[in-house]
């Protein structure tokens, strides 16, 4: 049975986001309200352009909302400046992307080590933690390889290792299996499930009904609004 805590981790209310050019204004999020509890595994689904990635970016504090409220762990963060957002992000949130987003110039070990460097973890501690997490992700034997030398599945495992090495409370995954074959995709979903079972809250954007079934709850978006929520049994 999947465990969900009682405390609320995320509460967004009437969240708005617009994209403007000189002539056109596109509404990405239209007064969207969502809540996510600590330990929950939430999947966000919807057609292209419905605002899934925009929502994920705002939740990950990579982007500003244009209106509404975003409370993270009881703190209103919607209008935090970049420095505060970066600080909150590096201590609380891990990211997993469809295209892995590993840095080509760094080895597997160095890619995973990077978040620890930015949080100021001492070198010896970093080595210990990186080795631990690489071991867990069964990618230790590839520690000195560069991303281009790995398969897609291995790259995504490195990306997940990098996302969890700082022991974040929340993992945001943007179509984590989108670039993988079904076998590697399943492996990644298993890893995320394991992490969730160990207490990490996960919010995942996906097009795949199969992947969404790993979550506790599916939020379906259309035109920047919630159209339906499915609780998974």
Q: Residues 146, 155: contact at Cβ < 8 Å?
A: no
Is residue 110 close enough to count as binding other proteins by CB under 8 A? yes
Give least dist CB 119 to other proteins, A.
6
Site track 112-151 with other proteins (rule: CB under 8 A), x = hit: --xx-xxx--------------------------------
Q: Residues 74, 44: contact at Cβ < 8 Å?
A: no
Binding test (CB under 8 A) with other proteins, winner from 1, 74, 83, 124:
83
Give least dist CB 151 to other proteins, A.
20
146 burial type by CB count under 10 A (0-12 exposed, 13-18 middle, 19+ buried): middle
Window 191-220: residues binding other proteins (CB under 8 A): none
In the bound state with other proteins, the residue whose beta carbon lies nearer, of 74 and 120, is 120
Burial 91-116 (b: 16+ CB within 10 A, else e): ebbbbbbbebebeeeebbbbbbbbbb
Binding test (CB under 8 A) with other proteins, winner from 70, 95, 109, 214:
95
In the bound state with other proteins, the residue whose beta carbon lies nearer, of 11 and 90, is 90
121-to-7, 136, 199 alpha-carbon distances in Å: 28, 20, 22
Tell whether the torsion through CA atoms of 5, 7, 12 and 13 is positive or negative: positive
Retrieve residue 16's tokens: 């708005």
Give least dist CB 38 to other proteins, A.
21
Interface with other proteins by CB under 8 A: which residues? 54, 57, 60, 62-63, 82-83, 86-87, 89-91, 95, 97, 101-106, 110, 114-115, 117-119, 162, 166
């Amino acid at each position: 049975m999947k465990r969900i805590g009682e405390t609320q981790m995320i509460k967004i209310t009437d969240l708005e986001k617009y994209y403007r050019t000189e002539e056109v204004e596109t509404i990405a999020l239209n007064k969207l309200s969502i809540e996510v509890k600590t330990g929950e595994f939430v999947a966000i689904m919807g057609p292209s352009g419905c605002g899934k990635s925009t929502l994920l970016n705002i939740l990950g504090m990579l982007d500003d909302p244009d209106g509404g409220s975003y409370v993270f762990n009881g703190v209103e963060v919607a209008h935090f400046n970049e420095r505060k957002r970066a600080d909150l992000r590096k201590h609380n949130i891990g990211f997993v992307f469809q295209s892995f987003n590993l840095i080509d110039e760094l080895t597997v070990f160095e890619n995973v080590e990077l978040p620890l460097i930015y949080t100021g973890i001492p070198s010896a501690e970093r080595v210990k933690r990186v080795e631990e997490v690489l071991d867990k992700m069964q990618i230790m034997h590839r520690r000195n390889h560069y991303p281009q030398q790995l398969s897609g599945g291995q790259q995504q495992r490195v990306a997940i290792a990098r996302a969890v090495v700082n022991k974040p409370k929340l993992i945001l995954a943007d179509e984590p299996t989108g670039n993988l074959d079904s076998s590697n995709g399943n492996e990644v979903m298993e890893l995320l499930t394991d992490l969730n079972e160990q207490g990490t809250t996960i919010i995942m954007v996906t097009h795949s009904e199969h992947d969404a079934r790993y979550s506790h709850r599916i939020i379906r978006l259309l035109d920047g609004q919630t159209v339906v929520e499915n609780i998974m049994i």
